[in-house]
Structure 1
Amino acid sequence: MVEATKRTSPYPLWFFLPAAVIYGVLFLVPTATSFWYSLTRWDLTTAEFIGLENFRQFFSEPFLVQGLINTLIYAVMTSGLKTIFGLLLAVLLTSNIIARGFLRTVVFFPVLVSTIGIGIAFTVMMHPTRGIINVALEAIGIDGPGWLTDPALALFSVALVDLWKGVGLATLIFIAGLAAISPDYYEASRIDGATRMQQFRRITLPLVRPATVTVVTLSLIGGLRSFDLIWAMTRGGPGFSSDVVASVIYKQYQAGFYGLSTAGNVILFALIAVIMVPLTIMFNRREIEQ
């Protein structure tokens, strides 16, 4: 019996080639170029190789280091709050409550609104004397703080606005995760006498873990590269108290320090990679073990 000869087709290779070319042109080439220019002192016409001088300068300037620290604080804070409140809202909005569909729309609506528009609106609302928030607090006898003018509060105030805007997406992801849990688990636990809190701890939390991983990953990456909301509300101020790496990069570029701003881009890229790659490996390993 003669074995049929196997025919190999070049189709799979040609199928992936256009995507590979686009990926290389739009990602690999700009990334490699950024690494090169971070080692130079350059303007729009010339470039002088200076090695790691831009990186030494970045880490020797206190306000640049402060931007790096603020980035980590902001990312961890917004990611944690979105995960916690997103899960709680999802549990609430999947229960038997009145106007559940309407409340889901209300929670998700801020996700659809322009970030710059939200930043401008909350900047007006958080004005220390004429903002609606402090005016309302004053009406009940509370002296409202300078939400965006106090260096100790500015970054946290922006983080709360980021939570208000982004928790809707986290809630939607958690609702999808909760919908995938079979009601049989809860029915069996009720027969065994489990309380709602025990059901939440022993059933909901473990089975909603894939959604939790997605929310943590997306919100952490978004927090690390956040720029538009912070720039719209504080422009990194007062002083450098709410500066993050992205706003520092933009300020250095505006000032004409193109090499230093490119080095900041590389540092931000490395920061995201150092945090997200091990975190993703850890999440994937736990999923395999389970």
Structure 2
Amino acid sequence: MKSSRSYPYWFILPGGLVYLVLFLVPTVAAFWFSLTHWDLFETRFIGLENYYQFLREPFLITGVVNTVIFGVLTSIAKSVLGLLLAVLLTSGLLGQSFLRTLIFFPVLVSTIGVGIAFAEIMHPARGMLNIGLSYFGIQGPAWLIDPNLALFSVALVDIWKGVGLATLIYIAGLATISSDYYEAARIDGATKLQMFFRITVPLVRPATVTVVTLSLIGGLRSFDIIWAMTKGGPGFSSDVLASVIYKQYQAGFYGLSTAGNIILFALVAFIVIPLTYWFNRREVDL
């Protein structure tokens, strides 16, 4: 009996060890280093001084606001577009297998590569996008140079790159919906739009929770595509919290940048954990 009761715990032991080594230990170590002034040769404990100094950064508020805007905007867009594309690609459309591959392909491409490529495509003078618009008599904007457009231009590219994964998750969610619901709705005279909002949207809710959560976490932590396209510029207009942290690291303030990472972790947790709780509670209520 004793071995029978303890038997299932052996299954979680490998995952628990991986979680301990790759997450818990680095997290505790990062928190310790955030309380120190350190480099490759010396570590000196300074308490919460790094946090005080990081919170006094002149462009910190801009970075936090941009982080939230970027995360929320890309998460909503990926969720809405992913669901619409999933419905389209499960409707028996001609060539839908090819279209699924085409939409998912950007997910497989290197984020840095995408950022560098679109930095050239969106170049105000020699970029393919503005050159194409000029053929239609449209003066293309300075996508990555205008402070009012830079962050949204990067967000647009991030949505293009990530919507394929959201679409794939929604396709899996749509596959779990029984066709009986739609047959009954047709008999009752429901239109396609009514079936979408009354059947598809509610029953695909678990997939929506997954897409929103993953997209929001990824958006709040986003760095690589922003750095590849704008490096936080022009000025500090497209800086997010992760790029502010990286600039501190580049300047050699390792303890300060580590404190910034802890603050970023806390920000993501502060937004995502209550949202996940709310989603789960709504799902139980339904």
The interval holding the TM-score normalised by the smaller chain is: over 0.9
Q: 1:179 to 1:18 in 2, by over 3 A?
A: closer
1:100-139 matched pairs, under 5 angstroms: 100-139=96-135
Measure how far apart 1:80 and its partner are: 0.5
Task: Measure, in 1, the Cα distance between the counterparts of 2:17 and 2:169.
Answer: 33
Task: Measure, in 2, the Cα distance between the counterparts of 1:12 and 1:106.
Answer: 42
**Percent of aligned pairs with the same amino acid:** 71
Equivalent position of 2:193 in the other structure:
197
Once the two structures are superposed, residues 228-259 of structure 1 have per-residue CA deviations (whole angstroms, 9 ceiling, x without a partner) of: 11111111111111111111111111100111
Measure how far apart 1:8 and its partner are: 3.7
Measure how far apart 1:54 and its partner are: 1.6
1:255-274 matched pairs, under 5 angstroms: 255-274=251-270
My pick for the range that moved more, 95-104 or 217-226, is: 95-104
Task: Measure, in 1, the Cα distance between the counterparts of 2:157 and 2:57.
Answer: 29
Q: 1:85 to 1:16 in 2, by over 3 A?
A: closer
Measure how far apart 1:11 and its partner are: 4.3
- Residue 86 (structure 2) aligned to one of 63, 86, 90: 90
Query: Gaps (5+ residues) in structure 2?
Result: none
Task: Measure, in 2, the Cα distance between the counterparts of 1:8 and 1:268.
Answer: 43
Q: Is the 8 A contact 1:58 1:65 kept in 2?
A: no
- Residue 144 (structure 1) aligned to one of 116, 120, 140: 140
Task: Measure, in 2, the Cα distance between the counterparts of 1:108 and 1:14.
Answer: 37
- Residue 177 (structure 2) aligned to one of 166, 176, 181: 181
Q: Is the 8 A contact 1:181 1:207 kept in 2?
A: yes
Measure how far apart 1:16 and its partner are: 3.9
Equivalent position of 1:71 in the other structure:
67
How many residues are aligned here?
285
Query: Gaps (5+ residues) in structure 1?
Result: 1-5
Task: Measure, in 2, the Cα distance between the counterparts of 1:219 and 1:23.
Answer: 22
Equivalent position of 2:247 in the other structure:
251
Q: Is the 8 A contact 1:252 1:261 kept in 2?
A: yes
Task: Measure, in 1, the Cα distance between the counterparts of 2:9 and 2:164.
Answer: 41
Equivalent position of 2:16 in the other structure:
20
Q: Which amino acid aligns with 1:209?
A: R
Q: From the CA coordinates, give the structure whose radius of gyration is larger.
A: 1
- Residue 156 (structure 1) aligned to one of 148, 152, 163: 152
1:222-261 matched pairs, under 5 angstroms: 222-261=218-257
Aligned to 2:44, the other structure's residue is in SS state strand
Measure how far apart 1:64 and its partner are: 2.3
Task: Measure, in 2, the Cα distance between the counterparts of 1:15 and 1:168.
Answer: 33
Task: Measure, in 2, the Cα distance between the counterparts of 1:16 and 1:112.
Answer: 30
Q: Cα RMSD (Å) of the superposition?
A: 1.5
Q: Which amino acid aligns with 1:224?
A: L
Task: Measure, in 2, the Cα distance between the counterparts of 1:24 and 1:66.
Answer: 34
Is 1:52 aligned with 2:48? yes
Measure how far apart 1:18 and its partner are: 4.3
Q: 1:275 to 1:43 in 2, by over 3 A?
A: same
Measure how far apart 1:98 and its partner are: 1.6
Measure how far apart 1:12 and its partner are: 4.4
Aligned to 1:62, the other structure's residue is in SS state coil
My pick for the range that moved more, 204-213 or 40-49, is: 40-49
Q: 1:228 to 1:184 in 2, by over 3 A?
A: same
Measure how far apart 1:288 and its partner are: 2.2
Task: Measure, in 1, the Cα distance between the counterparts of 2:13 and 2:203.
Answer: 39
Equivalent position of 1:216 in the other structure:
212
Task: Measure, in 2, the Cα distance between the counterparts of 1:113 and 1:273.
Answer: 28
Measure how far apart 1:71 and its partner are: 0.8
Task: Measure, in 1, the Cα distance between the counterparts of 2:278 and 2:14.
Answer: 32
Q: Which amino acid aligns with 1:172?
A: L
